[in-house]
Structure 1
């Protein structure tokens, strides 16, 4: 179903982080932007659709006007809003928002860290980080932090007047991932889902005040990657399992023993219902989701496997809304591997 294309070379290898691949398709310019995190650097590649031209850029996590305050980056993700696209980078020190090409940093939010250098606060300070990024229609960007809180930023249609509008405090464990409704339907009641290190899921309705619709308990196993599509939560766990829940009621539709080891990344092609899963077991799988409107049942069919030999896969993303192509990153691998449909 898919065949391997020429890989995109990176300046650095990929760190072993959940969801360590960002993809943004720029249709008017026939370009695709890719981001991969390595330690305290975001490797950004701009690639032409014909695969002949590439340009590289590197972004560091550092406070504005402080040249030496770099910190480990936890995630880099593109956030698409109706009026603009932004690149959001999270680290142990704070949250950076860039123009989508990485050229200009438009916003910086510092994380609160303890100032008293006692042993306990020193240990706590080491655990402070931001992780889990999602845009929510139509002007919010949500970012999770290690305390379990979710920071909601109100983003204007242009400029840098970004404000922290709300803090959601339902999770008790560090946020691991977040996702918004990706089917494009405005009729969906739930439009944001958040996951944490205990496996708990929170389902939200966005607005001037975010509303918690449902809390789905975890099983003491981290939910490393989560998606929301047509009112269905798709969650990947450290057990290698994928679970599909009805977002509003929390009813379990399906449980799939998808991988032999920890799932690091999920993605959905919203127009086709294709689901991509990637794990430590070196396997990338493609599935097809079907929702029956009358009964709200969800069916899962397995379509395709790809094995990236001897590679701990840490990122996998579709490159378009139909799932025609996807890209994969692996720990200590200095390339992005691309696949397209045959």
Structure 2
């Protein structure tokens, strides 16, 4: 069913973070162009097939600065289309930075801090909803929503809302819709609807472990946990429909093929597993 295709060599090793892999796709073809992997305060950017492109090792620093030592901690990166622009988004202890698609020019930055910085503030959790809205979480449970202004190619902060009591771990949403799912270090998972502002739809039960990774697929939210469990919630019935003891250790990421319902989970137990969602009962 699966064949080994190509081995990609990182400039350095990858940090032990959840969701530590981002893919840049060629528009329209949806073929992988480059991948990005975080190492502490740096980002490995590696070409997948193009022999004319070189790997890059990008430091995460404040725009315009050139420090000798990079003390930033990068938590997540994302390639996405925001409005009419293809951008590269970086969440870190500096807040959120939005670069052009190749990561060379910083177009926008925001600290995403809601308390005095004692060294523990960070942004984490990135999702695009409604094609032109970027949602960003932070270390004290706030969600910020940034709007892409097409006429000026600018970015504006439109909302900042306290959504969780613990640090945000992941966000997911529909690019063509107005639903946003948020998760935190306590394991709380919340479904929101964005109208003029974020409105809570449901707060799902917690299970005692952080929710590390999430994906939305059709009427289902796929949630991975530090306990090794994978749980599926239905956004129509607002209930838990499936629970799998999928791994022996922390699940570090999940991803789904939207056309087939096949989804992949990877874990600290060293296993990568492929699962199939049945549309009959969501299991």
The two structures share one fold, judged by TM-score above 0.5: yes
Gaps of 5+ in 2: none
1:153 to 146, 156, 180: 146
Which stretches of structure 1, 4 residues or longer, exceed 6 Å deviation after superposition?
none
TM-superposed CA distance for 1:231, in Å, is 1.9
- Matching residue of 1:179: 172
What residue in structure 1 maps to residue 11 of structure 2?
11
1:36 aligns with 2:47: no
2:133 corresponding residue in structure 1:
140
- Residue 87 of structure 1: how far off its partner (Å): 1.3
**Root-mean-square deviation over aligned CA pairs:** 2.1
What's 2:59 paired with? 60
Partner of 1:77: 78
Given that 1:263 and 1:277 are in contact with CA atoms closer than 8 Å, whether structure 2 keeps it comes out as yes
Q: How many matched pairs? A: 280
Q: Which one is further off, 75-84 or 2-11? A: 75-84
TM superposition score normalised by structure 2: 0.91
Aligned counterparts, 1:61-210, within 5 A: 61-68=60-67, 70-81=71-82, 83-112=84-113, 125-157=118-150, 160-181=153-174, 191-210=179-198
Cα distance in 2 between the residues matched to 1:271 and 1:12: 34
Q: Is the 2:139–2:167 Cα contact (8 Å) retained in structure 1?
A: yes
**Counterpart of 2:118 in 1: which secondary structure?**
helix
Contact 1:47 1:55 in 2 (8 A): no
TM-score by length of 1: 0.76
The reply to whether residue 252 of structure 1 matches residue 240 of structure 2 is: yes
Question: Contact 1:84–1:158 (CA<8 Å) still a contact in 2?
Answer: no
Q: Aligned equivalents of 1:139 and 1:82: distance in 2? A: 4
What do residues 103-149 of structure 1 show as CA deviations (whole Å, max 9, x unaligned)? 3211111243765xxxxxxxx72321111111112210001100001
In terms of mean alpha carbon deviation, does 78-87 or 138-147 score higher?
Answer: 78-87
CA offsets 1:188-213 (integer angstroms, 9 cap, x no match): xx621111000001111123322211
Measure, in 2, the Cα distance between the counterparts of 1:158 and 1:258. Answer: 47
C-alpha deviation, 1:31, in angstroms: 5.1
1:27 is displaced (CA, Å) by 4.3
Assess if the C-alpha contact under 8 Å between 1:233 and 1:246 holds in 2: yes
Deviations 1:151-197 (CA, angstroms, capped at 9, x unpaired): 11111237552111001212110000011137x6x5xxx62111100
Residues 57 and 28 (structure 1), Cα distance of their counterparts in 2 relative to 1, 3 Å cut: farther
Separation in 2, partners of 1:43, 1:158:
32
1:63–1:70 CA contact under 8 A, matched in 2: no
- Cα distance in 1, alignment partners of residues 114 and 235 from structure 2: 34
SS of match in other structure, 2:195: coil
Tell me the SS of whatever aligns to 1:24. Answer: strand
| Selected match of 2:269 from 253, 274, 281 | 281
Q: Distance in 2 between matches of 1:27 and 1:161?
A: 21
Contact 1:81 1:137 in 2 (8 A): no
Residue 261 of structure 1 aligns with which residue?
Answer: 249
Q: 1:225 aligns with which of 207, 213, 218?
A: 213
Partner Cα separation in structure 1 for residue 28 and residue 181 of structure 2: 30
